[in-house]
Amino acid sequence: MNKIFEKGGKLYWLHSTVDAFETFLHVPGTVTRKGAHVRDAVDLKRIMIIAVIAAVPAALFGMWNTGYQHALATGADPRFWADLWFGFLKVLPLFIVSYVVGLAIEFASAQIRGEEVNEGYLVSGFFIPLIVPVDVPLWMLAVAVAFAVIFGKEVFGGTGMNIWNPALLTRAFLFFSYPNSMSGSETWIAMRKGETLVDGATGATPLSFLGDGMDALTNSGAQYGTGFWDMFIGTVPGSVGETSVIAILIGAVILLWTGVASWKIMASSVAGAIFVGGLAQLCGGTDIPCLYHLVMGGFAFGTVFMATDPVTSAQTDCGKWIYGFFIGAVCVIIRLFNPGYAEGMMLAILLGNTFAPLIDWYVTDRHIARKNRVVKAA
Amino acid sequence: MSNNIVLKKGLNIPLAGVPALVVKRTILPDTVAVQPSDYKGLNARLLVREGDKVLAGSPVLADKKNPDVLVTSPVSGTVKAVVRGDKRKLLAVLVDADKDQEYLDFGAAKDGLSAGDVKDRLLKSGLWTAFVQRPYGIVADPAATPKAIFVSAFSTAPLAADTEFTLGNETAALQAGVSALAKLAKVHVSVKSADSAFAKLRDAEIHVVKGKHPAGNVGVQISHISPIRKEETVWTVSLELLAAIGRLFTTGRYDVRRKVAVGGPAAAEPAYIDTLPGIPMSALKECYGSADGIRIISGDVLSGTNAGEDGYLGFYDTQVTLLKEGTEPELLGWARPFRFNQYSADHSYFNWCLGRLDKEVAMDTNLHGGPRAFVMPDSYYAKHLPMDIYPLYLIKACLAGDIDNMEKFGIYEVLPEDLALVEFMDPSKNYVQDIIQNGINLMLKEMA
């Protein structure tokens, strides 16, 4: 690094920024000072970039689906490349806003703390456009990102210290601050200025029919398919990256194969959703088959990419089982028994994040109690 | 209790430069150093002056708190210099060795020594410092009564000396050592297989411990044999010093000569040398050529001391590791799909599924990243740690200086070396062993 960026240099205020770009291009020649003289080649950049790569299929599908839903809703003929291009132009600004606002704050806070820039936001910044409606006004997104990064992360001390998942906090901020832009039938399908829905078309997502049961879902009369496989493939309206379970499963395979995310959380979250969904179905609370919950709305995306966030999820193996199950169960409970919100995943994960330290506390406490018992018995 | 322990967790780091099982050289240098920093918890008082004559076994240092605990000279000769650092801190006592070595005679032992005799002789000869007390990893307090004495008869650390080679033909001395220690407390010896040369030692309980590193760490073995709880103490002795204790009782001499493994990617001809602790590293010049850009480590790569060319072989160390300093930046390092010239056990690199995890790699001292807060969860860090503890909780308790939680999460059971692999694999590049050592230092201060 040039001397003027070092402490006491004229451009020291740019130190963290320069360092971030420099270490992005190459691993620095820093050597170990004490302790283990050799280190594993893995670093956080590597782990984070795997998470981003895992989300790319969902992002690409989301772009195409944005164009496809637009074509369906306006009565145009769906054409693959045209739809993808339309979606790309719609989604790209979301990525730009998310990264520019988030990284600017991240760089500034790293400089204030005198630390290196943490790569955590590379992942959050990629996830945020995927969990918001495609037509969300960009200024709202910017405000929400700023809120989430500053109050959700930096005030706690940056990546690794935060309690809630910053990407979900962005969505929660949008959801509660600008409810009109986050619900209703105008949000989920991208429209150009002056375009209107063709007769009979709806802008509602499959989730919004959920409260009225299976009949409402199958006979919704929507211009898109509302069957199980339609939702599995993802050709339905919704947040940009959350609709296609197939694309998300590709990401899940990458995350699990590389060991970046926890299979325990994913498995137990699915188990929790099936358990509550199945129980409700058995007791006659709803006639929606429990498997539908796995393919609807943000459940799949949340389970694979959000609940498994290493910082905000449970830390211990046993805690992960409890935490995942809790999220899956609460998500379906909110969907079925709460008339206010159609989507329960965001709140379920944020609630799970809140309780994760408590779950871990319980797990470690039991562990220590067991150890002490063994001692007394011996 | 079963005496067969199989550890599933662990990681053998395939560092290049495995020492050949042959003694290449015998090095008895002109000058040997006695370093107080080798002895944790010892507050050294100097007993000699420049120009004093000493024999092998003559006291050089004493502990200020327990004046009976002595550190003695490994050679006979003349005290050449007393090296002091900032604030007159005692760094080393240099002894010029005589041509013909003379040993202080502690008297060959007759049968039927009492526990008091054993203790007395160990204290006088300076071999008391062979006892490392757990918790805390300090030189044992002679007034304490340990629950047991543990010996690990093998090491799994990267490029560690093969004890079957270095001590396999010294079983008589080892047996004398075990029999003497058995007078003080119950002795547990862990061996790596039932047909090991050390599995036949009498007067001790033998445990067969199988597994990858850190299975050979005595701390890991203790946690599976008889975990340390609050207000308990155990002592540990390295196999090398157990042999020295045995020699003390059979020949009456303080004789700490040992075979030392010299290996590592920067070693010219990785092999063993026959030498003494305290030799200057510069005496190994033939093994590394020029010291430029080379790190000379007394001990293993995970928890050894960066001695440098001007440093000395540590009292407890039986290996020297030579590494290249990794000061070269690596273009697009983390972004490459594969990095076959680097080692990573993490699944985000693909060595694990390409069958390359055991392939030898010439690792250097590069940190491979920048320091970050802990991001990955506790279960990630526990992946290679075969102990019944939550490593990240313990580390965070140490960082916070929270004594209650340090106690709860097992500070009594660990020494920094036990969490060395956690430090090795940490993608956030924290100095975990340093954090644990600071935690232990805090405990020592608070408990005093």
SS (H, E, C) chain A: CCHHHCCCCCCHHHHHHHHHHHHHHEECCCECCCCCCCCCCCCHHHHHHHHHHHHHHHHHHHHHHHHHHHHHHHCCCCCHHHHHHHHHHHHHHHHHHHHHHHHHHHHHHHHHHCCCCCCHHHHHHHHHHHHCCCCCCHHHHHHHHHHHHHHHCHHHCCCCCCCCCHHHHHHHHHHHHCHHHHCCCCCCCCCCCCCCCCCCCCCCCHHHHHHHHHHHHHCCCCCCCCCHHHHHHCCCCCCCCCCCHHHHHHHHHHHHHCCCCCHHHHHHHHHHHHHHHHHHHHCCCCCCCCCHHHHCCCHHHHHHHHCCCCCCCCCCHHHHHHHHHHHHHHHHHHHHHCCCCCCCHHHHHHHHHHHHHHHHHHHHHHHHHHHHHHHHHC
3-class SS of residue B34? strand
Distance of residue A325 Cα from the nearest chain B Cα, in angstroms: 18
pLDDT value, residue A16: 76
Q: Are A73 and A92 in contact (CB under 8 A)?
A: no
pTM for the full model? Answer: 0.92
Report the first-to-last Cα separation within chain A, whole angstroms: 59
Q: Say whether residue B342 is in contact with chain A using an 8 A CB cutoff.
A: yes
Which residue in B261, B267, B312, B275 sits closest to B27, CA to CA? B275
Distance of residue A98 Cα from the nearest chain B Cα, in angstroms: 22
Distances (CA, A) of A272 to A147, A244, A293, B239: 31, 21, 11, 53
How many whole angstroms separate alpha carbon A40 and alpha carbon A52?
22
Q: Are A244 and A233 in contact (CB under 8 A)?
A: yes
| B chain contacts of residue A35, beta-carbon cutoff 8 Å | 302-303, 416, 420, 423, 431-434
pLDDT value, residue A1: 60
Element (H, E) at B52: none
Among all residues of chain B, which has the CA nearest to that of A49? B335
Interface probe, candidates B13, B297, B330, B372, chain A, greatest A C-beta count within 10 A: B372
Distance of residue A166 Cα from the nearest chain B Cα, in angstroms: 14
Q: Are A348 and A273 in contact (CB under 8 A)?
A: no
Distance of residue B105 Cα from the nearest chain A Cα, in angstroms: 39
Element (H, E) at B76: none
Distances (CA, A) of B138 to A117, B67, B131, B211, B234: 39, 15, 8, 27, 11
How many whole angstroms separate alpha carbon B309 and alpha carbon B322?
11
Among all residues of chain A, which has the CA nearest to that of B431? A35
- What digits encode the pLDDT tens for the residues A296-351? 889 999 999 999 999 999 999 999 999 999 999 999 999 888 877 778 899 999 99
How many residue contacts between A and B have a Cβ separation below 8 Å? 201
How many whole angstroms separate alpha carbon B286 and alpha carbon B268?
8
Interface probe, candidates B334, B341, B376, B380, chain A, greatest A C-beta count within 10 A: B334
The C-alpha R_g of chain B, in whole angstroms, comes to 22
Nearest CB partner across the interface for A31, out of B365, B373, B425: B365
Q: Say whether residue B265 is in contact with chain A using an 8 A CB cutoff.
A: no
| A chain contacts of residue B425, beta-carbon cutoff 8 Å | 40, 42
Across the interface, whether the CB atoms of B390 and A316 are under 8 A apart is answered yes
**Quick one: CA dihedral A170, A176, A179, A182, positive or negative?**
positive
| B chain contacts of residue A262, beta-carbon cutoff 8 Å | 377, 379
| A chain contacts of residue B157, beta-carbon cutoff 8 Å | none
Across the interface, whether the CB atoms of A375 and B229 are under 8 A apart is answered yes
Which residue in B430, B66, B417 sits closest to B440, CA to CA? B417
Across the interface, whether the CB atoms of B15 and A38 are under 8 A apart is answered yes
B363 Cα distance to chain centroid: 21
Distance of residue A286 Cα from the nearest chain B Cα, in angstroms: 37
Q: Are A15 and A6 in contact (CB under 8 A)?
A: yes
Structure tokens at A228: 């199980």
How many whole angstroms separate alpha carbon A106 and alpha carbon A100?
10
Put the strands of the sheet holding B23-26 in their side by side order: B23-26, B271-275, B258-263, B319-324, B294-298, B305-306
What residue has token string 């102990």?
A: B387
| B chain contacts of residue A40, beta-carbon cutoff 8 Å | 343-346, 368, 424-427
Structure tokens at A83: 């739809």
How many whole angstroms separate alpha carbon B46 and alpha carbon B24?
36
Query: Which residue numbers in chain B have pLDDT < 70?
Result: 1-2, 110
Across the interface, whether the CB atoms of B373 and A158 are under 8 A apart is answered yes
Across the interface, whether the CB atoms of A37 and B304 are under 8 A apart is answered yes
SS3 content of chain B, % helix, strand, coil (to 5): 25, 20, 50
Q: Say whether residue B431 is in contact with chain A using an 8 A CB cutoff.
A: yes
Among all residues of chain B, which has the CA nearest to that of A256? B347
Nearest CB partner across the interface for B365, out of A37, A45, A314: A37
| A chain contacts of residue B223, beta-carbon cutoff 8 Å | none
| A chain contacts of residue B424, beta-carbon cutoff 8 Å | 36, 38-40
Distance of residue B61 Cα from the nearest chain A Cα, in angstroms: 27
Interface probe, candidates A33, A39, A312, chain B, greatest B C-beta count within 10 A: A39
pLDDT value, residue A2: 67
pLDDT per residue of chain A (378 residues) written in tens, 0 to 9: 666 777 777 777 777 777 777 777 777 878 888 889 999 989 898 999 999 999 999 999 999 999 999 998 888 888 899 999 999 999 999 999 999 999 999 989 988 888 888 888 999 999 999 999 998 999 999 999 999 999 999 999 888 899 999 999 999 999 899 887 776 666 788 887 777 778 777 778 888 787 777 888 888 778 888 888 989 999 999 899 999 999 999 999 999 999 999 999 999 999 999 999 999 999 987 888 889 999 988 999 999 999 999 999 999 999 999 999 999 999 999 988 887 777 889 999 999 999 999 999 999 999 999 888 876 665
Q: Say whether residue B147 is in contact with chain A using an 8 A CB cutoff.
A: no
Interface probe, candidates A40, A317, A374, chain B, greatest B C-beta count within 10 A: A40
How many whole angstroms separate alpha carbon A127 and alpha carbon A167?
6
Q: Are B348 and B338 in contact (CB under 8 A)?
A: no
Across the interface, whether the CB atoms of B346 and A259 are under 8 A apart is answered yes
Identify residue B308 by its one-letter amino acid code.
G
Distance of residue A26 Cα from the nearest chain B Cα, in angstroms: 4
How many whole angstroms separate alpha carbon B313 and alpha carbon B333?
35
**Quick one: CA dihedral A231, A236, A241, A247, positive or negative?**
positive
Q: Say whether residue B362 is in contact with chain A using an 8 A CB cutoff.
A: no
pLDDT value, residue B1: 43
CB contacts under 8 A, B 5-34 vs A, are 13, 15
- What digits encode the pLDDT tens for the residues B271-309? 999 999 999 999 998 888 888 889 999 999 999 999 989
| B chain contacts of residue A120, beta-carbon cutoff 8 Å | 375
- What digits encode the pLDDT tens for the residues B386-430? 999 999 999 999 999 999 999 999 999 999 999 999 999 999 999
Nearest CB partner across the interface for B375, out of A25, A259, A311: A311
Structure tokens at B380: 């990630």
Across the interface, whether the CB atoms of B347 and A258 are under 8 A apart is answered yes
ipTM of the complex: 0.90
Across the interface, whether the CB atoms of A36 and B433 are under 8 A apart is answered yes
Nearest CB partner across the interface for A46, out of B323, B348, B380: B348
The widest CA-to-CA distance across chain B, in whole angstroms, is 68
Across the interface, whether the CB atoms of A44 and B367 are under 8 A apart is answered no
